[in-house]
A = this chain, B = another copy of it.
């Protein structure tokens, strides 16, 4: 079945619009989403392999591999410290390899990078703390396996019952709150990583700790500076792209090398990534090589594991699907369809396998998600010229001289939507599990991972709408470009809007540092009804149109989750207008609907207008460039 040449996903057969009776209930029609996901994507399968054979995919693969590997190792070190060494380097590598294997070969959307996140690390050591508290620390592997099995089962249920559709209701309000939360967790982990080196009961440790701080700081600034070069006009497009693609490998190799300079630095005896036996679990298992003897758990504890399994599913539902959506954000010109139901079903399989093998459960990586797509996207740098004329304050007529400027304008021309880069990552992870390459990993100083946490967290955070809106609030209004739609709002209202997000983030963060930490997904999920029920009563339609938008926007994405929903504020405004108008009350039932859709669509169009206009247009606004990376921010200062 060859793929259609010009696919139109706006009229996808998978929809719940216009259905009535039992047919309109998602849960009553199992497998419908999965069926259409596979049917929609399958025609593209072979092209997914063919499209990966080019230079950009290879370069992008190196970049995303490092951005996947380094935080994974960093979280693994964190887990190792907090689970008494149960989780080690091999577990991290195997888990990442498993995820890359399953998702590169079988997923609907192979661009979604799946791996080890900070949140699963949080779960794993919180569960460890619970088992210790309950006096069943020796049953930790079995208990964790059961949590994972329950998680797998609930994943499958969710996927089969088409519940991924509810991702339609996630707007930037909640997804950016979540992204902010994750970014802050990363930053905090960086500091924890550094601080932990100060409190090791070792003679030379303060010395090593300070040297580690120097390396972490320098690593952070190196990656930051190297990535920034890509957005300048230095060198040629090819060279600056190369430098920013390889920012992580360059900095990692340089600072690892630096940490081995003989003399004072070598003598400081930095803590490094620990050595482990190739291909074996960090802690020898009784049952077999990797299999956890999960059947040796008292039934009582099997059922205690159930709510925790559900919490994991809640987390993954949110985390994985958001990372998948941001990997397919609208700024990338994607042509191949998404498949949320099937991918979530697959995630259940990796949960099950990961659980019974006693490795950390992989899921979608939030800050890294858009980086993968970005790194396999071909950009063209256009030479745009503009004429500029100074106007006196308030004047409409040109009064200054015409000045001609040359500008760089970036356009994304094509995304290599393929499975090759993801599959190569799988091979690379397996390769790293061999003895010689484990030795290479051992040369890396642990402090470097603090730098990794900082740069990944920082890059992610700076694109979040909370940060962007606060930068806007702190900016002097007279210098803001008039095409920024936020200028139509009062700053006080924007601050008020972000306060709801900040409250959510603060509450989740507070929770994360307590024993109840694994409850934070509930808080995050609670932001969705807050957005749909409470916010439309506080903010006007216009305010929400400017400040918030559904996170899933592109048709290729929406096709898999049942199309675009009508936002409540639009419906409410429409209702009000209709009540005011008082005209033609018969037969309006249907036309209201479509009228509301029109208003909505128009609103979206005007939003899109000022988004597309500025998309990747760089005129030395390099300060803003960082802000654009990472998860796509709702609002940017742009040109209409």
Contact = CB atoms under 8 A, between A and B. Distances in A.
A1 interface: no
Count of this chain's copies in the oligomeric assembly? 2
A579 interface: no
Interface string A199-225: 000000011011101100110010000
Nearest to A623: B622
A384 B388 contact: no
Range, interface on chain A: 35 or more
A206 B267 contact: yes
A236 B476 contact: yes
Nearest to A397: B387
A383 interface: yes
B476 A234 contact: yes
Contacts of A588: none
A181 to B, nearest CB: 25
Contacts of A210: 207, 210-211, 213-214, 268
Contact of A471 (B209, B234, B479): B234
A389 B390 contact: no
B217 A478 contact: no
A360 to B, nearest CB: 31
Contacts of A268: 206, 210
A639 interface: yes
A483 interface: yes
Interface stretch (A367-375, A398-406, A595-603): A398-406
Contacts of A393: 382-385
A476 B235 contact: yes
A13 interface: no
A482 interface: yes
A436 interface: no
B383 A391 contact: no
A41 interface: no
A583 interface: no
A176 B61 CA distance: 45
Contacts of A267: 206
A333 B63 CA distance: 51
Contacts of A406: 478-482
Interface in A416-447: none
Nearest to A217: B217
Interface in A467-492: 471, 474-476, 478-483
A621 interface: yes
Nearest to A400: B386
A476 B237 CA distance: 8
A218 B194 CA distance: 15
A299 to B, nearest CB: 49
A212 to B, nearest CB: 8
A233 interface: yes
A515 interface: no
B383 A387 contact: no
Contacts of A474: 234-235
Given A211-B210, A217-B218, A623-B620, A479 B233 contact: yes
A640 B211 contact: no
A267 B198 CA distance: 12
A391 B398 contact: no
A335 interface: no
A264 interface: yes
A626 interface: no
A542 interface: no
A616 interface: no
B207 A404 contact: no
Most buried by B among A395, A406, A640: A406
Interface in A586-634: 620-624
A260 interface: no
22 contacts: A207-B207, A209-B264, A210-B210, A213-B214, A217-B218, A221-B221, A233-B480, A234-B476, A235-B474, A237-B476, A382-B393, A384-B393, A386-B390, A386-B400, A388-B405, A404-B481, A405-B481, A405-B482, A406-B479, A407-B479, A620-B621, A620-B623
Given A387-B389, A620-B620, 10 more contacts: A217-B218, A236-B476, A385-B391, A385-B392, A387-B391, A388-B388, A405-B481, A405-B639, A406-B482, A407-B479
The 5 closest A-B pairs by CB, nearest first: A210-B210, A233-B479, A385-B391, A207-B207, A383-B478
Interface of A: 198, 206-207, 209-211, 213-214, 217-218, 221, 232-237, 264, 267-268, 382-393, 395, 398, 400, 403-408, 471, 474-476, 478-483, 620-624, 639-640
